[in-house]
Structure 1
Amino acid sequence: MAYVTTPEGLEIFYKDWGPRDAQVIFFHHGWPLSADDWDAQLLFFVAEGYRVVAHDRRGHGRSSQVWDGHDMDHYADDVAAVVKHLGVEGAFHVGHSTGGGEVIHYMARHPEDKVPKAAIIAAVPPLMVQTDSNPGGLPKSVFDDLQAQLKVNRAQFYQDIPAGPFYGYNRPGAKADQGVILNWWRQGMMGGAQAHYDGIVAFSQTDFTESLKKVTVPVLVMHGDDDQIVPYDNSGPLSAKLLAKGTLKTYKGYPHGMPTTHADVINQDLLAFFRS
């Protein structure tokens, strides 16, 4: 198993597949998952000749289950440690959900890495929580409730999310994939409760507005209009407007977990974007 030791002494797990001399795509997973959530993308892009890298965020998956540092600054710096260790500066970066915020913040915080292109999928920027300046956000009570459910029974909570809104399996006529649900539960339970608890604050209360403004390279913003986790109207369209070279691609009826439920479409769209 491959790990990077950060300057803080944390062990960050990563996957690194494909030819050493190929163009690299670096994948950033969502809360509370792991690099395993990118299986469909990693296998696809390796077959297309790319080198792919994906890590487990601190406190998630196989990385160190530390109790602190669960914020976007630390997340971005941990990514920088992986990038430096592997020598993969200049990679394309792809982030889903919380990982989309991580991509944007990494690019803004570490401009020394000249990332040529990026894609964010069903991502949390610009800001999820409702504030006076963000009236379209979700009330803070929504996220407080998520933390409360995690504290009471994390195992059941991690069953209910994928079985319901994450993949849209709660929609009329939807056919739930039990393997997908169990895999989500497995990944979630691998991580640390403290990291996941604090991560709810990180993904919901971080304002990415200034980070988005600092990103000047092409970014593909991919979002489903039936996203029940990160509502479409207050996320994808707003991020695309704040980015200097943002392109919004809207997916009719797609759920939050669309990299899994619609991997065939998402993979082809990413491939076309990176080859353009």
Structure 2
Amino acid sequence: MNVQPNVRIAVEDINPAGGKTILLLHGWPLNRNMFEYQLHLLPKYDYRCVLMDLRGFGDSDRPSDGYRYNQLARDVNAVVRSLGLTQFTLAGFSLGGAVALRYLSLFPGAPVEKLCLFSAAAPAFIQKYGSPHGMTKMQVDELIRQASSDRPQLIEEFAGLLFAQPHSDAMFSWIKGLCLQASGIATVQTAIAMRDEDLRSDLRKITVPTGIFHGRQDQFCPFAFAQELNRSIANSQLFAFDHSAHGVCYDELDSFNERLVEFLQQK
């Protein structure tokens, strides 16, 4: 799907005849395939599942620019408009959660009826005045340097931060494979965006029911992010996972899926 004249975004539409719709946005530096274990479940509840690879990731085009949150949100809007989505749930993991928040802020008339934030990289990914949680700028600068010089090693270390529970070597290999499908440019440029963007002023514009799903053992986007989101988004619920790290949708898979469905089915 073309979102700009020379930028094509990969979109997957599963169970298009479903009575309800959820649009899923992946995290850094993954792609839409990270949601494999939700796609076994959601169509059983009559959900049409729309997934997109953010520019530079997965099967989408890899332009040299356009990786700030505003452009990523405009890409989401182009997909929503092209598919004619109405009254849908928007869900985002990590970077995808940040993009989802900017999308709702930038397009206040968007036909979103619920928002799901999974381990969201928000409100601010690095420590800022008034927001003391997360990495320091120096730590993210080192992450960016590593992405620019030894991306495979960065991915190895990132995969280790995803899990608090034991997983098979094959699972680690799969996750690392998804991450390595990303372009180097997108990996670096979205890390710069996460470092520099600040979503605190966006949060007051969020009015839809919001479910915040976050692991207490998250070392990439600390649990304090979820608590701050819960305090700042008026109509929000916090679903805490005591035994999960950043990969909240893997560490406690059954519990995560059950609570996600619980939130989606709330009137």
Normalised to the residue count of structure 2, the TM-score between the two structures is 0.95
Question: Which residue pairs with 1:165 in the alignment?
Answer: 161
Assess if the C-alpha contact under 8 Å between 1:19 and 1:49 holds in 2.
no
Q: How far apart, CA to CA, are the structure 2 residues paired with 1:53 and 1:183?
A: 22
How far off its partner does 1:22 sit?
Answer: 1.6
Residue of structure 2 aligned with 1:191, choices 172, 182, 205: 182
Residue of structure 2 aligned with 1:259, choices 222, 244, 249: 249
Assess if the C-alpha contact under 8 Å between 2:18 and 2:43 holds in 1.
no
Identity over aligned pairs, percent: 26
Q: Which ranges of structure 2 fall in alignment gaps of 5 or more residues?
A: none
Question: Which residue pairs with 2:37 in the alignment?
Answer: 40
How far off its partner does 1:190 sit?
Answer: 1.2
Question: Which residue pairs with 2:169 in the alignment?
Answer: 178
Question: Which residue pairs with 2:209 in the alignment?
Answer: 218
Q: How far apart, CA to CA, are the structure 1 residues paired with 2:251 and 2:241?
A: 12
Letter of the aligned partner of 1:53 in structure 2?
V
Q: How far apart, CA to CA, are the structure 1 residues paired with 2:242 and 2:5?
A: 43
Greater CA drift, 246-255 or 78-87:
246-255
- Whether 1:105 and 2:120 are equivalent positions in the alignment is no
Q: How far apart, CA to CA, are the structure 2 residues paired with 1:60 and 1:232?
A: 26
Residue of structure 2 aligned with 1:272, choices 257, 262, 266: 262
Encode CA deviations 1:104-159: one digit per residue, 9 max, x unaligned: 11111112222111110111111121122323342101101111111221122212
Q: CA RMSD in A?
A: 1.4
Q: How far apart, CA to CA, are the structure 2 residues paired with 1:114 and 1:20?
A: 18
Residue of structure 2 aligned with 1:93, choices 90, 94, 105: 90
Question: Which residue pairs with 2:22 in the alignment?
Answer: 25
Q: How far apart, CA to CA, are the structure 2 residues paired with 1:156 and 1:254?
A: 23
- Whether 1:240 and 2:237 are equivalent positions in the alignment is no
Matches within 5 A, 1:45-194: 45-162=42-159, 164-168=160-164, 174-194=165-185
Q: Which ranges of structure 1 fall in alignment gaps of 5 or more residues?
A: 169-173
Residue of structure 2 aligned with 1:230, choices 201, 221, 225: 221
Q: How far apart, CA to CA, are the structure 1 residues paired with 2:167 and 2:259?
A: 25
Encode CA deviations 1:74-110: one digit per residue, 9 max, x unaligned: 1100011111111113210111111111111111111
Q: How far apart, CA to CA, are the structure 2 residues paired with 1:22 and 1:176?
A: 34
Letter of the aligned partner of 2:137 in structure 1?
K
Question: Which residue pairs with 1:171 in the alignment?
Answer: none
Q: How far apart, CA to CA, are the structure 2 residues paired with 1:237 and 1:175?
A: 26
Q: How far apart, CA to CA, are the structure 1 residues paired with 2:16 and 2:76?
A: 21
Letter of the aligned partner of 2:162 in structure 1?
F
Q: How far apart, CA to CA, are the structure 1 residues paired with 2:246 and 2:133?
A: 18
Q: How far apart, CA to CA, are the structure 2 residues paired with 1:105 and 1:194?
A: 22
Letter of the aligned partner of 2:233 in structure 1?
L
Letter of the aligned partner of 1:203 in structure 2?
M
